[in-house]
Structure 1
């Protein structure tokens, strides 16, 4: 069970005008602006749910995922995941979660994928038997047999994303955070990733939180959506709440953004 209650996160961002004189002046007197990334965010996600966490750029999605992962500490509010506070019980907490950031990698660039997997085995202290079992299952389900001996830098984007997903699941996490997992992928690779996520949820009851701008991913994988804008939860429901009266989900979502000045 994931529970966030009245979570707030603020960033202090320096600001100045363009030009050399402004840059020189900023050396002695800096001006700052407070950005309220999250402002009283609350929601609950049950075990085994697949939830789409959506919103425009700068809405607070990544900040939420980083707090849920234990990377960031909020100024206010509470967050409990299976009884643990992510930023206070981080070592114990990360054993239960997997995280995939579509634009970042957890694989070492110049070594074969299998070497990265072996290192993750040591980092997470995965039992040798469990590691072999999970590696075999993931290799089969994601079609990785021809990729494991290849350095990460030589993989296509679709191949790398399949390896990234496998890397995040080697330690059998109960919860999987997916931040833009299909960004830049071709149609075949997208379908392969979607099918795998559905199978993972069906077979292992893994809780999945999907953050993406691709509404086809949302439609294919989730029934519930949580929509955030300007640090506030604006909608917690399903896709029909967005799509009703429009030809497509994208049109409905664009209209929703416009009506809330997002």
Structure 2
């Protein structure tokens, strides 16, 4: 054995791996690094992926957050859409309710108007029936000997209204009359057209006895067909006539000047 064999060597031991040489440079505005002479020992163990790569963990967290944000946005959009649909449905329901209410009010008014019109027509019909019934009763009932009814009352009222007016031969009113002019004007008030002169008026109707007189009978003096004076019986034993220029139109009892006869035209 050599004597130098046990003496430590002064030479540096060989490196287990070549030194890494870095060369830097700028190419196209980017910093570039070149690694030369770098060797990795064959027995060098690679670090686990879990120790060297952190990006997958960060990317998953961001994806989860983004998904949650998307879900939230979708929920908000859904809520807005649902609220819009609810508002639209409410608006439509409100409009439908208003329309229904307006139609109901219109229908109620129409019904009320129809009922009022029916009531009015019924009232008018009842009044017309009552008027016709009254007219039939007037026509069918005999005239009262004291006061008269219906057309006889109109006749007597007209004659009494002429009391005190002047007697003028040949006059037919309205301010003065002769005897036949007064009776002709009086009966024209109730639609009866008498001849103009006394002779013709004394035969214008049915002859009646003086003991059976009724209101409205025409009294005459002289003979029938050649009478010289006429008047009208007004009941209670009285008559009205245009007597003469001195008395004018007066109401007198039959005893004042008893007539010769009478005719009935009513």
The alignment's TM-score, normalised by the length of structure 2, stands at 0.21
Q: Please tell me whether Structure 1 or Structure 2 has the larger radius of gyration of its CA atoms.
A: 2
Structure with more helix by fraction = 2
Task: Decide which structure has greater strand share.
Answer: 1
Structure with larger RCO (C-alpha < 8 A, sep 6+) = 1
TM norm structure 1:
0.21
